[in-house]
């Protein structure tokens, strides 16, 4: 069966959040032809088991349990894309920090634009409760590095909340090197390189504080991000 929208949710140890997130998305997209794909990194907390039970009751929901594969946000999303049957793909984190209420607007924009980035820094965007200075600094450096190293100027390159057309993904999927957390930058970099007349739109989103589970952001993630920028910059593809 084909769908209009495929919503991909990468997860690792999100058992406290995933059922609530899926329920909210189902309510928001109830009038649309959509599917939800959870790409789970074989979570020790058995997030995959919760999603599997939901899938038994709703054929629009499916779970990829990534056993024996390299863990990471980017490879999880790519696995989701490769199984998606929609014409428009969406990516949203499984920790409830990405405000799902903005998803319908982003999907609608995805009908007119090739790529839509949900950003905390565009009109209508907000970071609930603000960020500590260290997080603000890390975000600013990441944005600056993407512009200097890759020539990509977007307001929120590490957002991870985005929409893209299937045909754009089909053109770049063989170029992707899915590692770490830089999936959106890689999508945008290769799309700009191989897709003519690319239409990109930034759309404001609300970013919530995490209420359950643990953040994956750490020194390793930051190191992988900058390593990935350099790999893309000096790639011979």
Residue 235 has what pLDDT?
Answer: 72
Task: Identify which of 49-53, 134-138, 216-220 has the greatest average pLDDT.
Answer: 49-53
Q: Give the pLDDT band (50/70/90) at residue 228.
A: confident
Residue 126 has what pLDDT?
Answer: 86
* Nearest of 61, 105, 110 to residue 87 by alpha carbon: 110
Pairwise CA distance, residues 4 & 187, whole Å: 20
> Sheet of 34-40: strands edge to edge?
61-65, 34-40, 3-11, 86-91, 162-165, 115-119, 200-204
Q: Where are the alpha helices (DSSP H) in the chain?
A: 18-28, 47-57, 73-83, 103-109, 133-150, 166-172, 183-194, 219-233
Q: Which of 92-101, 122-131, 195-204 has the lowest mean pLDDT?
A: 122-131
Pairwise CA distance, residues 202 & 198, whole Å: 13
Residue 214 has what pLDDT?
Answer: 57
Scan for tokens 């039970």, then name that residue: 53
Q: What is the DSSP letter of 90?
A: E
Residue 124 has what pLDDT?
Answer: 86
Mode of pairing for the β-strands spanning 126-127 and 61-65:
unpaired
pLDDT at 177 over 90: no
155-194 burial: b if 16+ Cβ within 10 Å, else e = ebbbbbbbbbbeebbebbeebbbbbbbbbbbbbbbbbbee
pLDDT at 170 over 90: yes
Pairwise CA distance, residues 171 & 191, whole Å: 8
Scan for tokens 């939901």, then name that residue: 54
Average pLDDT over residues 17-45: 97
Q: What percent of the chain is modeled with pLDDT above 90? A: 61
Kindly report the average pLDDT of the chain as a whole number. 89
Q: Give the pLDDT band (50/70/90) at residue 236.
A: low
Q: Give the pLDDT band (50/70/90) at residue 81.
A: very high
User: Domains (ranges, CATH) in the chain?
Assistant: 3-233 (3.90.550.10)
């Amino acid at each position: 069966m084909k769908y209009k929208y495929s919503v991909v949710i990468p997860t690792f140890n999100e058992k406290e959040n995933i059922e609530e997130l899926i329920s909210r998305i189902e309510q928001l997209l109830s009038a649309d032809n959509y599917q939800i794909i959870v790409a789970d990194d074989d979570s020790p907390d058995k997030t995959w088991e919760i999603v599997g039970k939901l899938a038994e009751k709703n054929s629009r929901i499916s779970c990829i349990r990534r056993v024996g594969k390299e863990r990471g946000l980017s490879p999880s999303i790519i696995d989701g894309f490769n199984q998606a049957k929609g014409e428009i793909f969406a990516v949203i984190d499984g920790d409830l920090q990405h405000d799902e209420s903005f998803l319908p607007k982003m999907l609608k924009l995805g009908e007119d634009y090739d790529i839509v980035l949900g950003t905390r820094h565009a009109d209508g965007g907000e970071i609930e409760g603000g960020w500590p200075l260290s997080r603000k600094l890390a975000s600013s450096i990441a944005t600056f590095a993407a512009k200097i190293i890759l020539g990509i100027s977007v307001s929120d390159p590490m957002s991870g909340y985005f929409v893209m057309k299937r045909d754009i993904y089909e053109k770049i999927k063989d170029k992707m090197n899915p590692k770490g957390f830089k999936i959106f930058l890689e999508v945008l970099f290769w799309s700009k390189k191989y897709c003519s007349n690319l239409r990109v739109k930034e759309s404001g989103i609300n970013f919530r504080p995490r209420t359950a589970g643990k953040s994956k952001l750490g020194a390793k993630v930051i190191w992988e991000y900058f390593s990935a920028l350099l790999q893309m910059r000096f790639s011979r593809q």
